[in-house]
């Protein structure tokens, strides 16, 4: 049958529906996905030697004849397969575990190829759990005697299985993947041919060759991401129209002069960026990135004010009810004195539709998306912490606008996206960054507290609370990503302990995501008003809350968090002008762990910490999940400025030679099926 790169993987001979189901766990849906499932490392078994030369610690391949093979069942219940293999120079014991079927497929007299490491079994020299292949005339070896690819695996899908299926695919269907880069471009950047790279990334002659091929594929992913951005930008600019606002300087000044503080330079610049966008008929599509506490809300406020002055409504969507309420308070206090009307829309509240049509600013959660909520003339949409909303929800929100016009869009995020990633991935968005913190904001003094200083630290916190009238957050260790009962139980236990054994004299409350909304709001209000001294919480609870009197943040099990996560958590304090503190508790004694955490003592900049995270732990922490669809290998390349720069140049060359990529059919195909989740396109 014919097979294309886009064919579902189940149509590959020897795969079928049931393996296809398992492959889904690896994100492999199509034939192309399988070919691009590149090894994360190689075992170099290319060194074949004779049995007499084996010694412990070697990683080798040997070829020989099976003299005997049998199952051994030990008294302790272990199931061992033991074989003896000989060549001209000697004999060696070979051991496997729990593979009872082996004596059925390997027999005395068989010629066998083995690859693995040499060690001791009991007091005998042995090859333990090696890869094996029977030697048959004309059969190519995939698992032994060569550089062998090791893949990420899943239940029922081993590296061995992947190797054989990928090999089959590459040999039986050699024309699935085609080069899309013109030769001259390939030559300038010294890139191997794509067909060859795909082949050798799986089955290289040397490890170096494999790594060079992987680099070519990474390069492609980067080019693809940037072409996707260009493409989205082109479509946006060609197809979307907004109403252009008129913005006399007096409008801006009215807003700025009414603020209770002076704007930072970055805030000024961001407001200017936004204002320039709003004057155009191409709708704004801007990402405002700034650390927690950098003052993003005011920038949104300025845009909303302008929008209202032009006779249009604004919508602000926040990811949680608490954040929506907080925005409502902030925005109302800024803009109602200037004559604007602001309304909060939450789930479960009965809405007065007639009134809404006249409201200047609507703030809310997902409830904004309900059918019953109608808007008549939306000119601006602001989305806070966009990564928590799906593409679908954003599209739905958009559909609330008058049908012929696209509202201007401002997305705000405190997720510290490293600059290189932002530029690569979000090239279609305009970017404003708030680097500077408002004046008077002191860096949060941060200490890593070792095990033996725990009691002293508890005492210190008590003093801060009693003598300085401070308040503290205590965040429990990260247990699971979602607010499962396990996390809640752990937090509850910690809370009981603190209340009964440590701070009997203070008022403690527990906050977690499984609580009812009303209960959460009450707890936070009690904390805000100073009634509660210490708020104990799970890690997933509202990062953006703004309680200026809370100055102590204590985090348990700090080693379980990424630096960016810790930075976000500590951003809950240090929001007023008082000195704030962050105490990181860890039970770990490992110096690498302590050193990693200590980075927070000196670095107070979110994106810089994110770069550290990427170097140390990979991207997992940054985004929390894999929804973003960015291939793993792209992350490992982000530290490599050359490859980023080159891929950008190539993307630019491609788009200049053919803005719609029609003459690059395979690139076109990949753009169409691109999985890269766009953060602001619908």
Interaction site with ligand ADP (CB under 6 A): 261, 263-264, 267, 290, 292-298, 414, 438, 544, 546, 575
Residue 302 or 498 having the CB closest to ligand ADP: 302
Q: Minimum CB separation from ligand ADP for residue 287, in Å? A: 13
Q: Minimum CB separation from ligand ADP for residue 260, in Å? A: 8
Residue 231 or 385 having the CB closest to ligand ADP: 385
Using CB distances below 5 to 8 A depending on partner kind, what does residue 438 bind out of ligand ADP, Mg ion, none? ligand ADP
Residue 248 or 440 having the CB closest to ligand ADP: 440
Q: CA-to-CA distance for 115 and 132, rounded, in angstroms? A: 6
What separation, in Å, do the N-terminal and C-terminal C-alpha atoms of the chain show?
37
Q: Minimum CB separation from Mg ion for residue 299, in Å? A: 10
Residue 23 or 553 having the CB closest to ligand ADP: 553
Using CB distances below 5 to 8 A depending on partner kind, what does residue 293 bind out of Mg ion, ligand ADP, none? ligand ADP
Using CB distances below 5 to 8 A depending on partner kind, what does residue 294 bind out of Mg ion, ligand ADP, none? ligand ADP
Q: Which residue has the tokens 């197809």?
A: 239
Bridge partners of 535, per DSSP, are: 473, 509
Residue 193 or 441 having the CB closest to ligand ADP: 441
Q: CA-to-CA distance for 394 and 398, rounded, in angstroms? A: 6
Q: Minimum CB separation from ligand ADP for residue 610, in Å? A: 16
Residue 80 or 263 having the CB closest to ligand ADP: 263
Q: Minimum CB separation from ligand ADP for residue 177, in Å? A: 44
Output Rg (C-alpha) for the chain, integer angstroms: 30
Q: CA-to-CA distance for 521 and 326, rounded, in angstroms? A: 11
Residue 490 or 553 having the CB closest to Mg ion: 553
Q: Minimum CB separation from Mg ion for residue 293, in Å? A: 8
Q: Any residues with CB less than 8 A from the CB of 414 and at least 6 apart, and which?
A: 289, 290, 291, 292, 294, 296, 385, 543, 544, 568, 571, 606
562, 544 Cβ separation under 8 angstroms = no
Buried b (16+ CB within 10 A) or exposed e, 235-262: ebeeebebbebebeeebbeebbeeeeee
Q: CA-to-CA distance for 129 and 98, rounded, in angstroms? A: 10
Q: Minimum CB separation from ligand ADP for residue 608, in Å? A: 17
Using CB distances below 5 to 8 A depending on partner kind, what does residue 264 bind out of ligand ADP, Mg ion, none? ligand ADP
State the residue number with the nearest CB to Mg ion.
544
Q: Minimum CB separation from Mg ion for residue 386, in Å? A: 12
- Hey, what are 69's tokens? 């093979």
Residue 141 or 296 having the CB closest to Mg ion: 296
Q: Minimum CB separation from Mg ion for residue 297, in Å? A: 6
- Hey, what are 99's tokens? 């593979």
Q: Minimum CB separation from Mg ion for residue 295, in Å? A: 9
Buried b (16+ CB within 10 A) or exposed e, 69-100: beeeeeeeeeebbbbbbebeeeebbbbbeeee
Among the listed residues 421, 437, 383, the one whose alpha carbon sits nearest the alpha carbon of residue 638: 421
Q: Minimum CB separation from Mg ion for residue 316, in Å? A: 11
Residue 37 or 575 having the CB closest to ligand ADP: 575
Using CB distances below 5 to 8 A depending on partner kind, what does residue 202 bind out of ligand ADP, Mg ion, none? none
- Hey, what are 556's tokens? 């348990």
Residue 394 or 575 having the CB closest to Mg ion: 575
- Hey, what are 374's tokens? 């109608």
Residue 231 or 289 having the CB closest to ligand ADP: 289
Residue 292 or 308 having the CB closest to ligand ADP: 292
Q: CA-to-CA distance for 516 and 545, rounded, in angstroms? A: 17
Q: Minimum CB separation from ligand ADP for residue 295, in Å? A: 3
Using CB distances below 5 to 8 A depending on partner kind, what does residue 298 bind out of Mg ion, ligand ADP, none? ligand ADP
568, 414 Cβ separation under 8 angstroms = yes
State the residue number with the nearest CB to ligand ADP.
295
Using CB distances below 5 to 8 A depending on partner kind, what does residue 570 bind out of Mg ion, ligand ADP, none? none
Q: Minimum CB separation from ligand ADP for residue 438, in Å? A: 3
Render 598-660 in DSSP notation, one character per residue: HHHHH---HHHHHHHHHHHH-SHHHHSSSTT---HHHHHHTT-HHHHHHHHHHHHHHHHH-TT
Q: Minimum CB separation from Mg ion for residue 254, in Å? A: 23
Look at the alpha carbons of 286, 287, 291, 296 in this order and tell me if their dihedral is positive or negative.
positive
Three-state secondary structure readout of 67-109: EEEEEEECCCCCEEEEEEEEECCEEEEEEEECCCCHHHHCCCC
Q: Any residues with CB less than 8 A from the CB of 226 and at least 6 apart, and which?
A: 424, 427, 647, 648, 651
Binding site for Mg ion (CB under 5 A): 544
Helices and strands (H and E) in the chain: how many: 24, 20
Buried b (16+ CB within 10 A) or exposed e, 203-231: bbeeeebbebbbbbbbbbbbbbbbbbbbb
Q: Minimum CB separation from Mg ion for residue 392, in Å? A: 23
Residue 298 or 502 having the CB closest to Mg ion: 298
Q: CA-to-CA distance for 133 and 115, rounded, in angstroms? A: 9
Using DSSP bridges, classify how beta strands 111-121 and 124-134 pair: parallel, antiparallel or unpaired. Answer: antiparallel
Residue 226 or 568 having the CB closest to Mg ion: 568
Polymer length of the chain: 682
Among the listed residues 323, 242, 228, 236, the one whose alpha carbon sits nearest the alpha carbon of residue 281: 242
Residue 329 or 492 having the CB closest to Mg ion: 329
User: How big, in percent rounded to 5, are the helix, strand and coil portions of the chain?
Assistant: 40, 20, 40
Residue 318 or 470 having the CB closest to ligand ADP: 318
Buried b (16+ CB within 10 A) or exposed e, 146-157: bbbbebeeeeeb
Q: Minimum CB separation from Mg ion for residue 519, in Å? A: 23
């Amino acid at each position: 049958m014919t097979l294309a790169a886009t064919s579902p993987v189940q149509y590959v001979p020897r795969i079928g529906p049931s393996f296809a189901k398992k492959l889904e766990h690896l994100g492999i849906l199509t034939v192309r996905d399988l070919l691009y499932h590149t090894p994360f490392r190689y075992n170099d078994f290319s060194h074949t030697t004779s049995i007499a030369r084996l010694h412990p610690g070697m990683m080798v391949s040997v070829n020989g004849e099976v003299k005997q093979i049998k199952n051994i069942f030990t008294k302790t219940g272990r199931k061992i397969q033991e074989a003896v293999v000989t060549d001209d120079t000697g004999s060696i014991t070979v051991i496997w575990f729990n593979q009872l079927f082996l004596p059925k497929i390997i027999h005395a007299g068989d010629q066998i190829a083995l690859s693995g490491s040499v060690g001791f079994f009991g007091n005998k020299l042995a090859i333990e759990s090696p890869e094996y292949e029977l030697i048959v005339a004309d059969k190519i070896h995939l698992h032994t005697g060569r550089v062998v690819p090791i893949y990420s695996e899943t239940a029922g899908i081993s590296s061995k299985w992947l190797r054989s299926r990928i090999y089959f695919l590459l040999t039986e269907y050699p024309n699935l993947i085609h080069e899309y880069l013109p030769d001259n471009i390939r030559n300038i950047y010294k890139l191997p041919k794509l067909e060859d790279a795909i082949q050798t990334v799986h089955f290289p002659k040397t490890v170096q060759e494999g790594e060079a091929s992987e680099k070519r594929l990474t390069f492609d992913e980067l080019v693809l991401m940037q072409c996707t951005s260009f493409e989205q930008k082109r479509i946006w600019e060609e197809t979307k129209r907004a109403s252009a606002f008129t913005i006399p300087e007096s409008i801006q000044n009215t807003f700025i002069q009414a603020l209770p503080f002076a704007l930072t330079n970055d805030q000024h610049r961001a407001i200017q960026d936004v204002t320039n966008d709003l004057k155009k008929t191409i709708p704004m599509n801007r990402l405002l990135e700034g650390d927690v506490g950098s003052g993003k809300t005011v920038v949104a406020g300025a845009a909303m004010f302008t929008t209202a002055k032009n006779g249009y409504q604004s919508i602000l969507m926040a990811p949680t009810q608490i954040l929506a309420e907080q925005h409502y308070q902030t925005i109302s206090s800024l803009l109602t004195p200037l004559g604007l009307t602001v309304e909060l829309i939450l789930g479960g509240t009965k809405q007065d539709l007639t009134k809404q049509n006249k409201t200047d600013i609507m703030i809310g959660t997902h409830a904004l998306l309900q059918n019953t909520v109608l808007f008549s003339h939306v000119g601006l949409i602001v989305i806070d912490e966009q990564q928590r909303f799906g593409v679908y929800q954003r599209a739905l929100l958009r559909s609330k606008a008058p049908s012929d016009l696209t509202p201007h869009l401002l997305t705000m995020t405190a997720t510290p996206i490293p600059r290189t990633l932002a530029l690569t991935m979000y090239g279609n968005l305009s970017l404003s960054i708030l680097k500077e913190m408002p004046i008077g904001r002191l860096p949060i003094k941060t200490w890593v507290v070792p095990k033996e200083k725990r009691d002293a630290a508890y005492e210190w916190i008590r003093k801060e609370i009693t003598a300085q009238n401070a308040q503290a957050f205590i965040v429990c260790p990260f247990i699971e990503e979602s607010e499962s009962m396990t996390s809640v139980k752990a937090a509850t236990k910690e809370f009981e302990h603190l209340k009964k054994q440590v701070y009997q004299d203070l008022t403690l409350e527990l906050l977690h995501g499984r609580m009812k909304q009303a209960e959460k709001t009450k707890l936070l209000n009690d904390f805000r008003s100073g009634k509660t001294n210490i708020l104990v919480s799970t890690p997933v609870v509202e990062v953006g809350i703004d309680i200026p009197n809370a100055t102590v943040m204590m985090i348990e099990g700090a080693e379980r968090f990424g630096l960016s996560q810790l930075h976000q958590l500590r951003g809950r304090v240090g929001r007023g002008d008082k000195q704030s503190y962050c105490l990181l508790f860890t039970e770990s004694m490992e110096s690498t762990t302590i050193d990693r955490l200590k980075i927070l003592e000196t670095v107070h900049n979110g994106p810089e910490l994110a770069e550290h995270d990427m170097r140390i732990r990979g991207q997992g922490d940054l985004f929390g999940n894999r929804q973003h669809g960015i291939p793993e290998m792209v992350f490992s390349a982000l530290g490599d400025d050359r490859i980023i720069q080159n891929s950008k140049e190539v993307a630019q060359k491609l788009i200049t030679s053919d803005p719609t990529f029609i003459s690059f059919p395979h690139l076109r195909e990949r753009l169409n099926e691109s999985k890269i989740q766009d953060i602001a396109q619908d």
